[in-house]
């Protein structure tokens, strides 16, 4: 591989085909001496900056896929407002006397406590599929 004199990209050397730059199409003068070679045109690093930007975006997207998107915490910023010490207050905590009751808590059905502040004991998915969803006791 050699450097392209026009855009500083790499040019693969192939014996069976015409050698030209894959980025700009420039055909280098391979037989010229250093004094005879054309001076490199300045592209102001456009190709390099484009590559770096693409690499940066792909890195960010990969990290977001692995670790999730950064978000603002929904908990209490002031511990004085969090009377039960569970890290939630205001709209996110419907019972400041119990640390196991807040909007993001699991809510087991049948315990008589609305642990996740949705107004009912348990959730719709806790009870499993209902008969009106097309299922019967014999499975069909």
Q: Which domain holds residue 53?
A: 2-67
Specify the pLDDT at position 17.
Answer: 57
8 A C-beta contact, residue 103 and residue 93: yes
* Among the listed residues 119, 115, 111, the one whose alpha carbon sits nearest the alpha carbon of residue 98: 115
Specify the pLDDT at position 33.
Answer: 52
The answer to whether residues 62 and 43 belong to one domain is: yes
Specify the pLDDT at position 84.
Answer: 84
DSSP result, 17-39: S----TTT-----TT--TTTSPP
User: Is 132 part of a structural domain of the chain?
Assistant: no
Specify the pLDDT at position 99.
Answer: 84
Distance CA 101, CA 106 (A): 9
Specify the pLDDT at position 120.
Answer: 86
Distance CA 95, CA 83 (A): 9
The answer to whether residues 88 and 61 belong to one domain is: no
* Residues of the chain below pLDDT 50: 37, 126-136, 140
8 A C-beta contact, residue 105 and residue 91: no
């Amino acid at each position: 591989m050699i450097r392209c004199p026009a855009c500083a990209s790499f040019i693969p050397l192939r014996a069976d085909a015409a050698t030209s730059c894959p980025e700009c199409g420039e055909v280098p003068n391979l037989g010229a001496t250093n004094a005879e070679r054309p001076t490199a045109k300045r592209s102001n690093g456009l190709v390099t900056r484009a590559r770096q930007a693409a690499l940066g975006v792909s890195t960010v997207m990969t990290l977001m896929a692995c670790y999730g998107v950064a978000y603002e915490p929904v908990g209490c910023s002031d511990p004085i407002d969090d009377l039960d010490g569970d890290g939630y207050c205001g709209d996110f905590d419907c019972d400041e006397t119990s640390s196991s009751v807040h909007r993001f808590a699991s809510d087991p059905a049948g315990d008589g406590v609305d642990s996740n502040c949705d107004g009912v004991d348990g959730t719709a998915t806790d009870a499993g599929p209902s008969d009106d969803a097309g299922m019967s006791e014999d499975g069909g």
